[in-house]
Every structure is written in C-alpha cells, then in structure tokens.
Amino acid sequence: MGEQEALRTFGTGENFHVKDYLGSHAVVRDGEEGFVFRVWAPNAQAVQVIGDFTDWKERPLELIRNEGGVWEGFSTLPQEGNLYKYLVTRASGHQVEKIDPFASYHEARPGTATFIRKEQERKWKDGLWMGRRKRFGFKQRPVNIYEVHANSWKNKPDGQPMTFKELTEELIPYLVEMNYTHVEFMPLMAHPLGMSWGYQLMSYFAFEHTYGTPEDFQEFVEACHLNNIGVLVDWVPGHFTQNDDALAYYDGTPTFEYEDHDRAHNYRWGALNFDIGKNQVQSFLISSALYWIEHFHIDGIRVDAVSNMLYLDYDDGPWKPNKDGGNRNYEGYYFLQKLNAVVKKFHPDVMMIAEESTAATPITQSIADGGLGFDYKWNMGWMNDILKFYESDPIYRQYDFNLVTFSFMYAFNENFVLPFSHDEVVHGKKSLMHKMWGDRYNQFAGLRNLYTYQICHPGKKLLFMGSEYGQFLEWKFNHELEWSNLEDQMNAKMRHFTADLNQFYKDHKALWQIDDSYAGIEIIDADNKAESVLSFIRQNDKGEFLVCVFNMVPVERKNFTIGLPQAGIYEEILNTELEVYGGVWKETNPQTRTQPGKWKDYDHTLSFTLPALGASVWKIKRRLKK
C-alpha cells in the first residue's frame, strides 16, 4: 500500500495494518539510508523527534504536518538501538514528551522512550501447527486454557520475574505435563504500572519490556506450537491509561478519547475510553489486534471489558442516553462487529473471545443476525452460580440446587467458555481452594468435584494458575505462586488429579465435539435435590457417550441408581475419590451390568456406589440388546 493510500485509509477507518505506515521505519531516500518518523497529532502546533541521536532536546528533528493530521520527517542520524520520543507542542502551546503510539518496544519502566528497531520477518517453524489450525479450527476441538499472569507465575532465584526466554524453558514443559491445550496471558502490551496487571495499557503494539523482547515472545509461541499448545492473549480496546506521556490527549485535544468529558473518562477504572466511533481509532485498534495475530502467531484474543464498550451507563460516572433514549453505545457495538469481521476475514481460524457480563446483547451470534460475531463469551453467570453453590454448607445445597442446574436452560444461548479466572481469586474473594466448604480434606474433595463438573459441562474451559494444585492463598500480582504448597502431599495429589482430568478431557470427544448444542448433552436427572445428585450424558457425533454423576454432599451413597438409554456393561473411568488423587477409595467401582427396569423415561438402570462429595464418570464397555 502506497503512502497516500495508507494515509487515506487510516482516515476512513480501513487501514488495518497502519503500523506499516505510522511509527518509525527504516527507508532509503535519495540514496541515503535513514529512518522516517510519522505520528498522528492533528491539532498539534508542532511535533519534533527527540532522542539520543538528537542529544534529546538539543537538536530535535522537526516534523511536517500533512493533510491527514500526520506529522512526518526523515533523518539519517538514528541507528538501531537508539531511543526516541515525540515532543508535541499542543494547541495550547504547552510542550509534552509523548510515546510513539506505534512503537513495538519501549525502554524499561518507568521510562517510555521507544527503541529504534528494524523489524525482521521471522522464519517460523510452526507450519504444521498453523496448517492444522487452519484445517480443523477450534470449535469441534478440545479447548482447555491455563490462564497466566506472566509477572507472577514463577520468579527467578533473585526474585525478579521471568522473561519469556525463561518461561519457554519453565512454563511450556509444565503446560505439557499438565495436559492443557492452550495458555492465555493477561495483557502483554506495554503498561506503566504492574499493579494494573496489564489492563491499563499505554502502548498497543509494544511488547512489555519486563517480559523480555518481542523476539523472546515469538520464540515462546513457536515453542508452544511445536508442543501442540495454543497461545491466547488478553487485549483491552475499550480504555487506556491516562498517563500524560502516553496516548492521553495526545495533541492537547481529544485525539484517541471521546470529546465528551464524561464519555472520555472511565471513572470506575481511572482510565480514558477510546472514541471507538472515530475512524482513525478504529484503524489503530484493529491494526493492533492483527499485529499481535500476525507478528506473534497467537491463536486467539480475549477482548477485555466488552460491557464497558457496549453500554453508556456501565461506568460509575454521569452518562447521556443515545439518540434513541437508550443506554446502547452504538459506536462500541458497530466497532466490535467490525473488529470481528476484519479478524475473521484475514484469520478465520483465530479465536475471538469476549469477557462480557450481561445478557442484553448477543455476543457470539453472527453479525448478519445482529450479534457481535465473537467465537466465545465467558459464562460469568455459570461461574458466579457454581462458586456460590460450592461455597455453601452441604446441609443447604438441596435448597439451592438450581444454582447447579440453571445453566442448562441457557447453555447454548451463546458459545461459552467456562472461566475460573484471576478475577475470582483476588481482592478478598479467596482462592478457589479456600472457597470450598469444610475441613482440608473436604475442601480438596470439593475442588476435585468442581473441576470435574467444569470439564463435563458443555463449553470450553479456563482455569487460573495456582488453582490446578489448590493454592490456599489468594493470588498476588507481585509475588510468584506458592509453589512450596506442592511439598504438601494433598496439594501434590491435587495437581496430579488436574493433570489426569485434563488428559481425560482431551481423550474423550464426547466432552468437546458437540459442546454448542443440546445434541451433545442429555440430562438424566436434574431433580434430585434431596440427595443433591446431578447426572447427565455427554455424547459425540457418533453416539458414543459418557455418563457423568455428581454427588454434591459428603455422604457416600451405596447402591445408587440412575436410568440409562442403553443396556450394557459399564465401567467407571473416572472417580474423584481415589487415594492417588487425595481421596479414600483404593480402586474404582467394578464393571457393572445394567438391569431392566423403568426409571423416569429410561428402560435400563445402573446401580453403583457414589463417592461422598465425589464425581463418577462411566463409559459403556459392551452394549447389550436388553
């Protein structure tokens, strides 16, 4: 794309690779090698480049404004590895040093200068993975995500966070050992404060310096793919940090943010909201998403805080109704449709996931049908209900049994991810382990039961780091996980259980091949409130099925009976109360033959011992005619 066309489409919201035009780029002009600098600051009085190659403010490079509000200049002085900023003279005459919004790598915090870089095209070695991804997609594949905060998964011996070079050596073998299919990272884009966990971004193309270099992350993704692990990244297109040296009021006027003060300011999070109705902002954000997909080969993006982009009254501050008198943010609605349409046009095999907490807008329906076109939505209702249930005293669970069963009423209204994320183990909410009812033994039993329910319930899966082995303390963003917990036998057995459960999920197509319609599930009994037992069948497209039974109270039930559609000899293939997992059972139930007999709408029954606060999963060993 030529420079004039790049400028024109940036202004019309149709330049989806705008980083190729804006920012700093190595070029040859009039036979001389140098760097061109371009930045969008339409209402600035003047813009200069300052850096170590200009002795900072001693000999600044003057830029010239074009008709699209982009300032441009060329210099032969910069060398790769030099640092620079933009010195913006705002409309008021006040000068401010600003980041390059299109930088790919900044200096270490608290500095914000950008490195001069000649980005080389990587020769990727993950062609087999990318080919399989394109051929098979993800909807009829297992998706079991391990959510990670890169800064606090594990530290180096000196207490410093690991870079992705070290995470390649440490985290990837762990993901393989634990049998996860995907890893998802909280935002990896440059941010000024670790306390924000990465959700207050200052730079949308730059890799956070704390985590190493962009090349380190490319190598990490490639290594994941070579180990059959997908990589997802969180992304925040709704709001950004209000630090004055970043995007905020870039040229002294509302540039990336809304003109309306209340719409621009996100009072709840102390941030600024993007004006996502502005063409240049749309080009900027969609280019950011595609850059991470294409430059780093990531397999999916989780879009954070979608509700904040959809509803004018989502924030705590004052708001004005839209032109129709409602609370719908039309700009946000149409932007998200556009984002998904563009990503799917270029990369239909990349997963687009929405973190969205309401039910007022169809999130995963097609754009043609009025939806936003996401592939998945986090099922926050399921997560809230199920955690409330498992936190409660078993004596009262029969009265709240609908918390477990209600999700089957809406399980396929959207395509869901079932998340136990970082948000549930911080700010006094306690760890998942600590949420569980009872003494330490029963807490582990409850946790195994909960994870099995998540795995067997329709929908893709997500679990936050540390939860896999039952870390007792809450997550701390500035402290590594409590790996010393694994010296405790119960925690070690819990991790072993989670690894086996993850492999169990991958091994059984019935758990993931049809997880977006009622064709993949048949409820056996959701009415046994008195005993607090839930049972259902999961099946694949060949009619192979698993029988999943959950005892939600600490009472062992001998000779427990359920109805089944198929006569046969059944074997128990998963029992959460085995000793090897931290329970008390030395072995599973024996193979059991069904008996003829009417049970609800079924003509066959299966009787077995149901473990206390345990889950039991059965598979047919041999079919019988009667």
Which helix H or strand E contains 34, and what residues bound it? strand 32-40
pLDDT score, position 119: 82
Active site residue 355: yes
SS3 category, 124: coil
Which residues neighbour 529 within 8 Å (Cβ) at sequence distance 6 or greater?
398, 399, 401
- Which CA distances in Å does 318 have to 256, 262, 390? 20, 6, 37
The answer to pTM > 0.85 is yes
**CA 495 to CA 178: how far, in whole Å?**
8
**CA 127 to CA 484: how far, in whole Å?**
38
Beta-strand (E) ranges in 191-277? 230-235, 239-241, 265-266, 271-273
**CA 329 to CA 155: how far, in whole Å?**
42
Asked if residues 243 and 272 have their Cβ atoms less than 8 Å apart, the reply is: no
Q: Mean pLDDT, the chain, as a whole number?
A: 96
pLDDT score, position 302: 98
Is pLDDT above 80 for 626? no
SS3 category, 174: helix
Backbone angles phi, psi at 22, to 5 degrees: -85, 160
Return the closest-CA partner of residue 84 out of 21, 34, 18: 34
Return the closest-CA partner of residue 479 out of 468, 488, 471: 471
User: CA neighbours within 13 Å on the CB side: how many for 232?
Assistant: 27
- Which CA distances in Å does 12 have to 4, 343, 524? 12, 18, 55
Asked if residues 306 and 355 have their Cβ atoms less than 8 Å apart, the reply is: yes
**CA 22 to CA 70: how far, in whole Å?**
8
Angle, nearest 10°, between helix axes 440-456 and 489-507?
A: 10
Domains of the chain: 3-115 (2.60.40.10), 519-623 (2.60.40.1180)
Give the residue-averaged pLDDT of 355-368. Answer: 93
Catalytic residue among 355, 375, 385, 572: 355
Return the closest-CA partner of residue 187 out of 259, 79, 289, 310: 289
Tell me, what amino acid is at 585? W
Catalytic residue among 222, 304, 356, 468: 304
SS3 category, 240: strand
Enter the DSSP assignment of 119.
P
Place of tokens 């997963």: 351
The CB density around residue 572, as the number of other CB atoms within 10 Å, is 19
Percent of all residues in the chain with a pLDDT value above 90, rounded to a whole number: 96
Reported as a single tens digit per residue, the pLDDT across 130-143 is 999 999 999 999 99
The CB density around residue 26, as the number of other CB atoms within 10 Å, is 14
**CA 546 to CA 457: how far, in whole Å?**
12
Tell me, what amino acid is at 444? F
Reported as a single tens digit per residue, the pLDDT across 213-269 is 999 999 999 999 999 999 999 999 999 999 999 999 999 999 999 999 999 999 999
Asked if residues 436 and 391 have their Cβ atoms less than 8 Å apart, the reply is: yes
Asked if residues 292 and 236 have their Cβ atoms less than 8 Å apart, the reply is: no
Reported as a single tens digit per residue, the pLDDT across 186-200 is 999 999 998 899 999
Is pLDDT above 80 for 624? yes
User: CA neighbours within 13 Å on the CB side: how many for 357?
Assistant: 10
Enter the DSSP assignment of 486.
G
Give the residue-averaged pLDDT of 597-623. Answer: 97
Is pLDDT above 90 for 342? yes
Reported as a single tens digit per residue, the pLDDT across 530-570 is 999 999 999 999 999 999 999 999 999 999 999 999 999 99
**CA 612 to CA 596: how far, in whole Å?**
27
The CB density around residue 14, as the number of other CB atoms within 10 Å, is 16
pLDDT score, position 317: 86
Enter the DSSP assignment of 319.
-
Is pLDDT above 80 for 13? yes
Asked if residues 56 and 97 have their Cβ atoms less than 8 Å apart, the reply is: no
Active site residue 33: no
pLDDT score, position 159: 87
Our measurement of the distance from residue 69's CA atom to the centroid of its chain's CA atoms, rounded to an integer in Å, reads 35
Tell me, what amino acid is at 537? I
Backbone angles phi, psi at 226, to 5 degrees: -70, -20
Which helix H or strand E contains 258, and what residues bound it? none
3-state secondary structure 131-161: HHHHHHCCCCCCCEEEEECCCCCCECCCCCE
